[in-house]
C-alpha cells in the first residue's frame, strides 16, 4: 500500500483475497494487465511473472477489510475519505445485499461484486473526528475507523488505474487521446472525485441536475503552466460525487501528446494524469 512512486527493482505488496471456495493446495498466481509509465505518464514495457502460493483450509471469515483497502475510486490510492468522495472498497466482502454506513449514515452503493464495493461517502460526513465505516452483508458485518479530510481529489483515467491518460473530453465533447488531441486555447473537461463540499449540499446518491460549484477553489496546471479553470463543480447528468472541471489549455504550450495535468483544491493536489495537446 505504498503511495509513493515505485522505482525500478523495488518490491511492492499486493492485497490478495482468496475465494472461500478455493481448494487447499498449491495455487498459481498470475499478475495481469501490469502497467508502467515514465515520469511523463507514457507507458513503458513491464513483464509480469507467475508464482505459486500455498492455500490452506481454515474457518471462513464472513466479512473483513482493512482501512488500507478503502481507496479513492479515481486514483486507487488509500488514505483519508472526504464528503462526497467515490470510494472503492476491497476485502472479504460477500455481495449479498451489502449496506455501507459512515458513522451510521447509509452510503449510496454504486457497485457490489464479490470482494469489491463502490460507494459514495455521504456529503454530511463530519470532519472533526475519524469516521467509522461499517459494512453489513447477509453474512455478517465489520467496522473500521477511517481518517477524514475536507478534500481528497483525484482525476479519473481512461484505464481506471489512476494513471496515464485522463478521462478527459475535448471542447467538441469527443474523447481526448493521442489520436484526438485538444487544440491549444480550447477547453478540456476533466472528471474527478474527492473535491469536498459544494456550494449547496446535494442529496446523497442522486443525479446532479445542474451546475453547483465546489466550496473550495480549484486551480489547474498543464505541463507546469498555470491554466484557467472556467468551472469546477457537480457534473450535470452524473451522480453527485463526480466532479466536472473545465480547464482552458494554455496557448503557450508546445504540442505534447502526454502533457501532465493536475488540479489543486485547497492545499491538496491530484495525482498527475496526462492530456493530449496538439
pLDDT tens digits along 143-165: 999 999 999 999 999 988 888 99
CATH number of the domain encompassing residue 85: 2.60.40.10
Choosing from 100, 129, 146, the residue where a domain stops is 146
Kindly state whether residue 246 falls inside one of the protein's structural domains. yes
| Residues 278, 181 contacting (CB under 8 angstroms) | yes
Predicted confidence at residue 172, as pLDDT, reads 97
Q: Output the average pLDDT for the chain.
A: 90
197 and 244 part of one domain: yes
Domain assignment of residue 74, given as a range: 67-146
Cα gap 40→111, rounded to integer Å: 32
Judge if 105 and 196 occupy the same domain: no
Exposed / middle / buried, residue 1 (Cβ in 10 Å: 0-12, 13-18, 19+)? middle
> Quick check: 239 pLDDT over 50?
yes
Strands 225-234 and 116-120: unpaired
Neighbour count for residue 147 (Cβ, 10 Å): 13
Q: Which of 146, 162, 192 is the last residue of a domain?
A: 146
Mean pLDDT of 239-249: 98
Task: For residues 230 and 183, state if they share a domain.
Answer: yes
What digits encode the pLDDT tens for the residues 202-218?
999 999 999 999 999 99
Residue 51 has pLDDT above 90, yes or no: no
Residues 159, 271, single domain; the answer is: yes
Last residue of a domain, one of 106, 127, 146: 146
Least confident of 60-69, 125-134, 234-243: 60-69
Q: pTM for the full model?
A: 0.81
The predicted pLDDT at position 58 comes to 65
Nearest to 217 by CA among 198, 235, 203, 200: 198
Same domain, 163 and 271: yes
The number of domains in the chain is 2
pLDDT at 2: 40
- Chain segment 101-123, per-residue pLDDT in tens: 999 999 999 999 888 999 999 99
Kindly write down the DSSP assignment for every residue of 13-46, as one continuous string: -------TTPPSEEEEEE--S--EE-TTS-EE--
Query: 261 and 171, same structural domain?
Result: yes
Q: Indicate if the pLDDT at residue 8 is higher than 90.
A: no
Q: 93 pLDDT exceeds 80? A: yes
The answer as to whether 96 is a domain residue is: yes
Amino acid at each position: 500500500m505504498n503511495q509513493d512512486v515505485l522505482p525500478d527493482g523495488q518490491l511492492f505488496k499486493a492485497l490478495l483475497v482468496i475465494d472461500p471456495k478455493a481448494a487447499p493446495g498449491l495455487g498459481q498466481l498470475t499478475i495481469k494487465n501490469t502497467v508502467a509509465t515514465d515520469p511523463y505518464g507514457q507507458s513503458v514495457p513491464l513483464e509480469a511473472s507467475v508464482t505459486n502460493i500455498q492455500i490452506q483450509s481454515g474457518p471462513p471469515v464472513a466479512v473483513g477489510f482493512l482501512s488500507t483497502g478503502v481507496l479513492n475510486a479515481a486514483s486507487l490510492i488509500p488514505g483519508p475519505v472526504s464528503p462526497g468522495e467515490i470510494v472503492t472498497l476491497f476485502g472479504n466482502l460477500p455481495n449479498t445485499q451489502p449496506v455501507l454506513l459512515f458513522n451510521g449514515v447509509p452510503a449510496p452503493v454504486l457497485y457490489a461484486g464479490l470482494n469489491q464495493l463502490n460507494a459514495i461517502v455521504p456529503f454530511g460526513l463530519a470532519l472533526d473526528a475519524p469516521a467509522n465505516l461499517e459494512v453489513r452483508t447477509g453474512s455478517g458485518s465489520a467496522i473500521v475507523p477511517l481518517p477524514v479530510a475536507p478534500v481528497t481529489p483525484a482525476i479519473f483515467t481512461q484505464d481506471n488505474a489512476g494513471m496515464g491518460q485522463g478521462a478527459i473530453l475535448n471542447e467538441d465533447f469527443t474523447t481526448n487521446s493521442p489520436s484526438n488531441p485538444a487544440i491549444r486555447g480550447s477547453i478540456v473537461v476533466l472528471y474527478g472525485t474527492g473535491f469536498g463540499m459544494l456550494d449547496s449540499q446535494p442529496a446523497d446518491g442522486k443525479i446532479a441536475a445542474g451546475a453547483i460549484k465546489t466550496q473550495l477553489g480549484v486551480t489547474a496546471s498543464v505541463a507546469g503552466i498555470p491554466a484557467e479553470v472556467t468551472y469546477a463543480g457537480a457534473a450535470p447528468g452524473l451522480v453527485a460525487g463526480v466532479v466536472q472541471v473545465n480547464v482552458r489549455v494554455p496557448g503557450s504550450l508546445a504540442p505534447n501528446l502526454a502533457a501532465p495535468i493536475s488540479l489543486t483544491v485547497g492545499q491538496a493536489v491530484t495525482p498527475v494524469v496526462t492530456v493530449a495537446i496538439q
